Amino acid sequence: MPPDMTHSSFCNWIRYKHLVLIDTLARTRNMHATATRMNLSQPALSKMLRDLEEQFGFALFERLPRSMPPTELGEYVVRYAQGALAESQQFVDQVNRLRNGGHGFIRVGGIFAATALVLPQAIAAIKARSPLLSIEVVEHSSDHLLTMLEQNKLDIMIGRFTEERFGQLFDFQPLEPEPFSLVVNSEHPLNQLDNTPLEALGDWPWVLYPVGTPIRNRLEQAFRVAGIATPADCVETISMPMFLQLLQSAPMIAMLPRSMVAAQLASGQFKELRSPLQVPALEYGVVTRKDEPLSASARAFVEILLEGAQRRRQSSEDTAFCP
């Protein structure tokens, strides 16, 4: 077994073209395709890969007849390469923006409940202070956003942990709970019932989040607690516009974060069903990488998010105690 690498020796021989090779081969799993994308001959690429593996002291990729997937240790190296490349791209983008008179760049990921109200309000507030600040917003489920944060593809995310291991990687600052509503359109026959029995919920088609997403997992648990099967007649999507369009145009049912359908409920376009089926509210918050300082713009954005949550809590408490 070769001696362990040291940080100084690693920095001496690793090059960005090595990281590009690792990332590209991990995505294509094909030497010819990788060589074409990197504008190299296949023999030159093969030699570069052999040299890399010699330096690491283990194989990065398996040599199968039709594919070259990463080895178990190679997967770890691939994650490092992808994170380093994403961080370098962010650096280049931000330097260009600053050179051209910009005020920095923030990449923010948000779950659907946050992008309905919390995130737009915070963006409007920070843009009022820093009009030239560039902000990229990614809307997705927490599991997807956590992966992006781990790979340095986001600076901040608004969501929640989906696995215990993320508590070792990220800091979490709570914002507010995410209540859910069981909704249908205003013409749905179930609106005629004062209380919707559980057995009636299975008689109608549903719009559901895909299997494996955190919201779907929580809904599956709610079905189990209620003692009913997951509806077989369903459409699965992660698209909010698709949820809204299907609910508007068909007699379908969906369990959604209340903030996502607040406008439709207020206008009477959607109705909230009363039912024993309940998804408990869970708190979401600001998630950032541990022991990694945020930029000044990102810190200001986090402060705005936390201040906004505090104002909403205070307003809710004042309303609750209003005689």
Q: What is the DSSP string of 78-146?
A: HHHHHHHHHHHHHHHHHHHHHHTT---EEEEEE-HHHHHTHHHHHHHHHHHH-TT-EEEEEE--HHHHH
The tens digit of pLDDT for each residue in 104-157 reads 789 999 988 788 788 999 999 998 888 878 899 998 888 889 999 998 899 999
Among 3.30.2090.10, 3.30.70.3270, 3.40.190.290, 3.40.50.20, name the CATH number for the domain at 180-280. Answer: 3.40.190.290
- β-strand pairing of 156-159 with 105-110: parallel
Our measurement of the distance from residue 223's CA atom to the centroid of its chain's CA atoms, rounded to an integer in Å, reads 25
Output the pLDDT for position 84.
92
User: Phi then psi for 101, rounded to 5 degrees?
Assistant: 95, 10
Q: For residue 102, what pLDDT band results from cuts at 50, 70 and 90?
A: low
Contacts for 26 with CB less than 8 Å, ≥ 6 apart = 61, 70, 74, 78, 81, 82
pLDDT in tens, 55-82: 999 999 999 989 999 999 999 999 999 9
- The candidate with the shortest Cα–Cα distance to 270, out of 199, 190, 198, is 190
Average pLDDT, the chain: 88
Range list for CATH 1.10.10.10 in the chain: 7-94
Highest mean pLDDT among 58-62, 190-194, 240-244, 257-261: 58-62
- Flag whether pLDDT at 101 surpasses 60: no
For 53, the enclosing helix (H) or strand (E) is helix 42-56
Query: Is residue 234 within 8 Å of 208, Cβ to Cβ?
Result: yes
Mean pLDDT of the region 169-177: 92
Instruction: Find the helix or strand (DSSP H, E) in which 235 lies.
Output: strand 234-236
Range(s) for CATH 3.40.190.290 in the chain?
180-280
For 214-251, b/e burial (b = at least 16 CB within 10 A) is bbbebbeebbeeeeeeebeeeeebbebeebbebbeeee
Angle subtended at Cα 287 by Cα 138 and Cα 162, rounded to the nearest 5 degrees:
85
Beta bridge partners of 285: 159, 174
Which residues have C-beta within 8 Å of that of residue 9, sequence separation ≥ 6? Answer: none
- For residue 41, is pLDDT > 90? yes
Domain 103-177+283-321 top-level CATH class = alpha beta
Give start-end residues of each CATH 3.40.190.10 domain in the chain: 103-177+283-321
Q: Within a 10 A sphere around the Cβ of 113, how many other Cβ atoms?
A: 26
Strand order in the sheet with 270-272: 254-257, 180-185, 270-272
Q: What is the mean pLDDT of residues 14-35?
A: 94
The CATH class given to the 7-94 domain equals mainly alpha
CA 255/CA 231 separation, integer angstroms: 12
Residues 6+ apart with CB under 8 A from 267: none
Cβ partners under 8 Å of residue 24, min gap 6: 34, 37, 38
Prediction pTM value: 0.59
Q: Select from 191, 192, 208 the least CA-distant residue to 279.
A: 208
29 three-state secondary structure = coil
